């Protein structure tokens, strides 16, 4: 069980088999990335907000789980000036093949940012990647910044 004090001080040990450092990481994309229409694309995430225990593999653009347990997984994608009535989909791929979380949003205005949040069981050695699809007649362009395009994980318990 993670205590409130551990969230604010990740160097406090949890006991019960938990590591002495909270397993958490958050990465985001800052810049402009073109997303091809109608094709699943892996998001480039080029900045690190925080990364306890080196969970982020920047060379391969994925999270690498080092301890089994329940994890809070959160992600979002923001598109610049999407056309109204188009659809945006953001999803998390586990171990390169399994789509474990997905959100699809219809565009109703000048900005759209579908996101996902869930608690999932992960094993040591699992990997997570952020993918997106832009359902449109034209390519999409990401709207960069730490709040628009990100992937974060935090281990909650065994």
Residue 115 lies in a domain: yes
Within a domain: 151: yes
- Average pLDDT of 131-135? 86
> Is the confidence at residue 50, as pLDDT, over 70?
yes
In a domain, 12, yes or no: no
More confidently predicted of 21 and 129: 129
Give the C-alpha separation, 43 to 73, whole Å.
16
Tell whether 127 is covered by a domain.
yes
DSSP 114: -
Number of domains in the chain: 1
| Residue 94 maps to a domain | yes
Model confidence at 8, pLDDT cuts 50, 70, 90, reads very low
Mean pLDDT of 32-53: 88
- For residue 40, tell me if it sits in a domain: yes
Residue length, the chain? 158
pLDDT at 106: 67
The pLDDT value recorded for residue 89 is 83
- Please report whether residue 7 resides in a domain: no
Q: What pLDDT does residue 38 have?
A: 82
Strands (E), the chain: 24-28, 34-35, 41-42, 47-51, 56-57, 62-64, 69-76, 79-80, 87-94, 98-106, 111-112, 115-122, 127-135, 140-141, 150-157
Mean per-residue pLDDT over the chain, rounded? 80
What tens digit of pLDDT does each residue of 101-128 get? 777 776 666 666 778 899 999 999 999 9
Nearest Cα neighbor of 146 from 21, 24, 45 is 45
Look up tokens 């006991």; give the residue: 15
Containing structural domain, residue 148: 24-157
DSSP string, 39-52: S-EEPP--EEEEET
**Residue 64's CATH number:** 2.60.120.40
Q: Which residue has the higher pLDDT, 141 or 135?
A: 135
Question: Is residue 132, in this structure, part of any structural domain at all?
Answer: yes
């Amino acid at each position: 069980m993670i205590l409130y004090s551990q969230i604010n001080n990740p160097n406090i040990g949890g006991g019960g088999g938990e590591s002495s450092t909270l397993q958490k990481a958050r990465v985001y994309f800052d810049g402009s990335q073109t997303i091809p229409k109608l094709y699943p694309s892996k998001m480039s995430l080029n900045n690190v907000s925080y990364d306890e225990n080196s969970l982020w593999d920047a060379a391969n653009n994925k999270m690498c789980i080092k301890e089994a347990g329940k994890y809070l997984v959160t992600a979002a994608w923001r598109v610049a000036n999407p056309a109204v009535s188009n659809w945006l989909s953001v999803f998390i791929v586990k171990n390169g093949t399994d789509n474990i979380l997905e959100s699809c949003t219809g565009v109703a205005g000048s900005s759209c940012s579908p996101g996902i949040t869930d608690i999932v069981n992960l094993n040591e050695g699992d990997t997570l990647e952020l993918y997106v699809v832009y359902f449109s007649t034209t390519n999409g362009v990401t709207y960069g910044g730490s709040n628009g395009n990100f992937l974060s994980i935090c281990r909650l318990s065994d």
